[in-house]
Amino acid sequence: MSFPDYYGKNLDALDDVLSDVATFSYGSDPATAGTVLAIVDFDALLQIDHRTGQKILEIFARQARLAALYGHPMLCLVETTASDLGTVGGTDVYAGTVWDTPPDPPDPFAEADVLEFGFQIYATQGEAADYVSALGQVIAPVLGEIGRWQILDPALASENAVHFRQENPSPRQQPGQQLWDVFVGVRGVGDAMVLGEEVFHAVERAGMVFEQMSQILYNNGYQEAAFEKYRELADFPNG
């Protein structure tokens, strides 16, 4: 939020600087719809010091009321399992879950289709090969329940992808590393959205870093192009 260099890094200082954010002095823009502060894994703080966690929310609530006087909507979204936040500084804490939002619509795939997952990584050639080996072990339990799958050897990313990454550099890129694509093809029966989330979380839990994950469903006449890429899947039943 563009806190100044003299920010004292304590609760009193947080109260002071948030009042400046509320009044558009810095860290906020009156031309936008408002300011949202999102705090993930708030439970980590509550477990260390519940009082400090509560105090941070009270400070934000107080300055959000000040902001309202300036026509500045301020919202604080907190990811937490805590159920005892109740009222903070005279302001009700509204609780909701991800299930309050409509789920993604089903995206089924059949045995005749090919579902592809792609991972972009920064690595040396040897590191990319090690990544593929580790990735196979991580996703095998997930994909094995769906059907057959094939993971391809790593390939250097396209010039367009490299150019984009050059314009948007990653702090994870180390000297000597290049941008690689790692692709996985799957045939079987399931829901692409559900399976994509399961693959993503499996890789994330394993601590495997990637720049981007993508997925493409080859169906409606596009399967042959996928079979050229994933030859081990071409002789699957209904292929």
What DSSP letter does each residue of 21-82 carry, written as one string? HHTTSSS--TTSS-EEEEES-THHHHHH-HHHHHHHHHHHHHHHHHHHHTT--EEEEE----
Sorted by where each starts, the structural domains of the chain and their CATH numbers stand as 11-100 (no CATH), 108-233 (3.30.70.2920)
Instruction: Please tell me the predicted confidence (pLDDT) of residue 146.
Output: 93
Would the pLDDT of 54 be above 90?
A: no
The total number of residues shown for the chain amounts to 239
Residue 144 has pLDDT above 70, yes or no: yes
Between 237 and 138, residue with greater pLDDT:
138
pLDDT at 2 over 70: yes
End-to-end Cα spacing for the chain? 54
Average pLDDT, the chain: 89
What mean pLDDT do residues 139-145 have? 95
Judge whether residue 99 has pLDDT over 60: no
Least confident of 41-45, 80-84, 159-163, 184-188: 80-84
Tell me how many helices (H) and strands (E) the chain has. Answer: 7, 11
SS3 140: helix
Residue 105: predicted pLDDT? 82
Kindly state the average pLDDT of the residues 83-106: 66
Question: Using 50, 70 and 90 to split pLDDT, how confident is the model at 129?
Answer: very high
Per residue in 3-38, pLDDT tens?
888 889 899 999 999 999 999 998 888 888 899 999
Q: What is the pLDDT of residue 115?
A: 96
pTM flag (> 0.85): no
What confidence score (pLDDT) does residue 29 get?
87
Alpha-carbon dihedral sign for residues 195, 198, 200, 202: negative
Q: For the residues 65-76, what does the mean pLDDT come to?
A: 91
The one-letter amino acid code at 21 reads V
Residues 185, 115 contacting (CB under 8 angstroms) = yes
